[in-house]
Structure 1
Amino acid sequence: MTSLRMPPGADPARPGPDRPLTVWVDGEPVTGTAGQTIAGVLLGAGRRAWRTTRGGAAPRGVFCGIGVCFDCLVEVNGLRDVRACLRRAHDGDVVVRQVS
């Protein structure tokens, strides 16, 4: 079996130009790129934790990254219990840390 080489210009998965976006996290602007999840924007900004546990205030962020666990929960535009690893970021989103 031989591999098929596709010319770079014909690759349908080729990314287009970046479209920047800004989300507001606890009142601070955080920049990202269209198509990223909220977790991706937060991780790209160097934020590793954005939620704390109820008993003991242990920090939480992305654990599984595929929506199976609930460690990455945030409030987005007033809606609680949003999994940051599944929700795509939109320009102007308001994200608030959540204590669960």
Structure 2
Amino acid sequence: ILESWQYECLSSAKPNQWLGFISDDDLCQWQGLIAKQIHPQGKSETLDILGKRVSKTPEEMRALLDSERRMHDNLWQYIPKTLLADVEQGMYDHARMQM
């Protein structure tokens, strides 16, 4: 659960060439999309957005994500557990180096 200050900080941020790979205008569009979702009365659009990318409705995405069996059969069986562990460790290492 997010605290109200997190929405306030994100929604009031004013990008000024923060990222070399995305324009300020595009970053502001992304900011708006995220801000409306994390607003205290906001609604997540994650399943709507991801569903469109894989030709599924939000309800179909929810059913898939809620089914351990379907998740295994359609996704996890193809990804070695050692690879997942390595990627996760790499993310932790990267996060620590950024601090």
- Say which structure is richer in helix: 2
Higher relative contact order (CA 8 A, sep 6+): 1
Greater C-alpha Rg: 2
TM-score using structure 2 length: 0.22
TM-score using structure 1 length: 0.22
- Say which structure is richer in strand: 1
